[in-house]
Amino acid sequence: MWSIGPIGFGAPWLLLGLIALPILWLLLRAVPPAPIRRRFPGVALLLGLTDDETQTDRTPWWLLLLRTLAVAAAIVGFAGPVLNPQDRTGGDGPLLVLMDGTWAGASDWTRRIERVDVVLGEALQAGRETAVVVLTDIQAGDLAFRSADAWSAELPNLEPAAWVPDADAVISWADGLGSGFDTYWVSDGLDHPWRAGLLSALQNAGAVSVFEAQRPVFGLRPARFQDGAIALEAVRSRTTGASEATVIGHGLDPSGTPRQLTSGTFVFGDGEKVASIALSLPPELRNRITR
């Protein structure tokens, strides 16, 4: 797709028709408007007279401009303009859509599913067979390549898991994939132990495109009781720029009602991967925290 700033065109070659607009202007200007027919009996008295001076009526300039702009708008419309176009998956063979499906992608899972739906739509237009695989739920057997619209109907049933897939199982599955297909990988952005091996196997099979969210993934390490307070450490996957993350402690109040018992904010400076805070609570509330 060819782009001019934020606008892309699906059929940019049609824009060459804009070059012919000056010629169209001259043609419209040379052709006089259609004469107006009116019945006037007295015109018989004018027969036989000659007029030494003649002046051809011309189309008004504003009407010429309006017609030219209408043709230009039609040309641009047929060229398929798209605002802020996204990169399309190229290729013409089978396409594997791979999702990590771990806890790290749960917070924006809806956006990831929407992105997969777009990729499947592009594959359907290109006539490519597709297969969708979630690494936390790998099915035994060969890849089931089929029509993209069949997979689109199953996307609402896909959900992230609270665990990370076993490294040996992922590598073993990847080594048995074979070749002859491209891959669109929706990654959670974490450097899993099996990531490098899986990427190598996919590259041996064909072209690989990776989609990752720009925002960092936050993780919370096990809590520790230190100096009369709850010591917490959080880590993030991307260290570029400063960011904040809020942690909330939930539990039951003395009446047994679920409530927010405490909260704190982790502050990450630019380049920092780890941030820590300490939550001071009375022993009674501290013992009531459940999550």
Looking at the structure of the chain, the number of domains it has is: 3
The pair of structure tokens assigned to 95 is 């396409």
Query: In this predicted model, what pLDDT tens digit does every residue of 189-221 receive, in sequence order?
Result: 888 888 888 888 888 888 888 888 777 788 888
Instruction: Name the domain boundary from 177, 211, 245.
Output: 211
> Using only C-alpha atoms, what is the Rg of the chain?
33
Claim to verify: residue 199 and residue 241 sit in the same structural domain: no
Question: Residue 80: pLDDT band by 50, 70, 90 thresholds?
Answer: confident
Claim to verify: residue 203 and residue 230 sit in the same structural domain: no
Claim to verify: residue 244 and residue 139 sit in the same structural domain: no
Claim to verify: residue 164 and residue 264 sit in the same structural domain: no
Helix residue ranges, H only, the chain: 21-30, 61-78, 109-126, 148-152, 167-175, 195-205, 283-286
Claim to verify: residue 131 and residue 71 sit in the same structural domain: no
Claim to verify: residue 229 and residue 272 sit in the same structural domain: yes
The pair of structure tokens assigned to 42 is 């007295």
Please say if the pLDDT value at position 78 is more than 70: yes
- With respect to residue 173, please indicate whether it lies within any of the assigned structural domains: yes
Query: In this predicted model, what pLDDT tens digit does every residue of 7-52 receive, in sequence order?
Result: 877 777 888 888 888 888 888 777 766 677 777 777 677 777 776 6
- With respect to residue 78, please indicate whether it lies within any of the assigned structural domains: yes
The pLDDT of residue 24:
82
Cα-Cα-Cα-Cα dihedral sign, residues 4, 7, 10, 16: negative
Claim to verify: residue 11 and residue 27 sit in the same structural domain: yes
Residues 6 or more apart in contact with residue 212 via CB below 8 angstroms:
187, 188, 189
Claim to verify: residue 66 and residue 100 sit in the same structural domain: no
- With respect to residue 88, please indicate whether it lies within any of the assigned structural domains: no
Claim to verify: residue 204 and residue 103 sit in the same structural domain: yes
Cβ–Cβ < 8 Å for 89, 182: yes
Q: Whole domain around residue 175: which residue ranges?
A: 95-211
- With respect to residue 222, please indicate whether it lies within any of the assigned structural domains: yes
The pair of structure tokens assigned to 17 is 């028709």
- With respect to residue 53, please indicate whether it lies within any of the assigned structural domains: no
- With respect to residue 90, please indicate whether it lies within any of the assigned structural domains: no
The pLDDT of residue 238:
76
Claim to verify: residue 178 and residue 247 sit in the same structural domain: no
- With respect to residue 69, please indicate whether it lies within any of the assigned structural domains: yes
